[in-house]
Amino acid sequence: MKDNPIKHFHIDKSEIKFIGHELQRPECILAEPDGSLWAADARGGVMHIKPDGTQELITQKRSNDFAKSVSDVDRYTKGTLPNGLAFAENGDILISNFGTDCLEVMKRTGETELLLDTIDGEPIGKVNFVLRDSKNRLWITVTTRLKNWIDALVPDLDDGYIIRIDERGSHIVADGFHFTNEVRFDKNEEFLYVVETTGGRILRFHVDENGELRNREIYGPSHLGVGAYPDGIAFDAFGNLWGTMVYSDKLFVISPDGDLIILLDEGDPEKIKQLDEAFYQKRVTPEILFKTGQGIAPWMASVTFGGADLSTVYIGSLKEKQIPYFRSPIPGLPMVHWKQTK
């Protein structure tokens, strides 16, 4: 195998730039070949940041609950909370709403339609992320069936699951996950990679020709270490899996040979230690949880490759009002919509 450029890469914080302003909870970011960015926004839709830097908030019905909440718990657990995003084949925006517990589709003019809020006759739970593959199937992650996701921050709860939507309907294709978060495919869509936030690890499944998930296995280290609450992931063209750790504010890479590389560590060690101790003792409180989060992207949540050459890395977060970005030595793996629109 060729030498991996990521092993010689160091992020120079002085070269990190920011785009966007007054964003609200930009957890997930989509990039388009023309330079446009689309960021999830807690006002009930997405912020379109145009190539010239101007921005437009697109919602069906604007909500001010996030900004007006006097409690962090209410701000991050109630109301509309657009989370994971994906482009539908026609360019509409698929929205995993972590607050209203549903999958929505929104036109670029704001009109919104409910796609899914129940599965097998039961409420769907905390819809976290949506991904579209080259066969136009949708893969949806549900973090937990608990109404308040903070209650799911315990080491022994594994009620997360994955839904596939295709021409046959909506089906649970895998379950038993510890706080299911983002999912991604490799270049050939041979494997689906799954983040377990409270499991502190990445799993993967072989995807058969019918879209069934087989052979669950751990990818990379069995545990990602101190403050290991992984959230968002994305592949680069070399095969490195980039990821974020949300409460410890780390940006990491798992190389194709399974090595864990920390590219950026912004967290407060003492606050992370307190959270880890509370987590393993099943006594995480809002006070302990919300003390974490600092640096360029507090509660670092996602990684997106963009720019004309796919070598600009954008970092999504839950607490920052801007989007930090920097250049990567390796371009990102193009997503399905990139191939269709370029």
Nearest Cα residue to 289 out of 227, 216, 206? 227
53-88 pLDDT, tens digit each: 999 999 988 888 898 888 899 999 999 999 999 999
247-292 pLDDT, tens digit each: 999 999 999 999 999 999 999 999 999 999 999 999 999 999 999 9
In this structure, what CATH number is given to the domain that contains residue 47?
2.120.10.30
Dihedral of CA 152/314/304/42: which sign?
Answer: positive
Dihedral angle of Cα 117, 298, 46, 68, to the nearest 10 degrees: 80
The residue range of the domain holding 203 is 5-335
| pLDDT for position 1 | 64
In-domain check, residue 166: yes
Which pair of tokens denotes residue 246? Answer: 């949300």
Which pair of tokens denotes residue 5? Answer: 């450029």
| pLDDT for position 314 | 98
Pairing of the two strands 45-49 and 37-41 = antiparallel
In-domain check, residue 342: no
pTM of the model: 0.97
318-342 pLDDT, tens digit each: 999 999 999 999 999 999 998 665 5
Quote the number of domains for the chain.
1
| pLDDT for position 341 | 58
In-domain check, residue 112: yes
272 CB-near residues (< 8 Å, 6+ apart): 226, 227, 247, 248, 292
Give the span between the Cα atoms of 334 and 235, in whole angstroms: 9
- What DSSP element (H or E) covers 56? strand 55-59
Contact 144, 126 (CB under 8 A): yes
Residue tagged 């967290």 (tokens): 267
What is the share, in percent, of the chain residues with pLDDT greater than 70?
99
Which pair of tokens denotes residue 262? Answer: 């920390």
127-161 pLDDT, tens digit each: 999 999 999 999 999 999 999 999 999 999 999 99
CA 173, 177, 181: angle at the middle one, nearest 5?
90
Give the span between the Cα atoms of 289 and 293, in whole angstroms: 9
In-domain check, residue 341: no
| pLDDT for position 64 | 87
In-domain check, residue 340: no
Give the span between the Cα atoms of 280 and 273, in whole angstroms: 11
Amino acid identity for residue 69 in this structure? S
184-204 pLDDT, tens digit each: 999 999 999 999 999 999 999
Contact 244, 226 (CB under 8 A): no
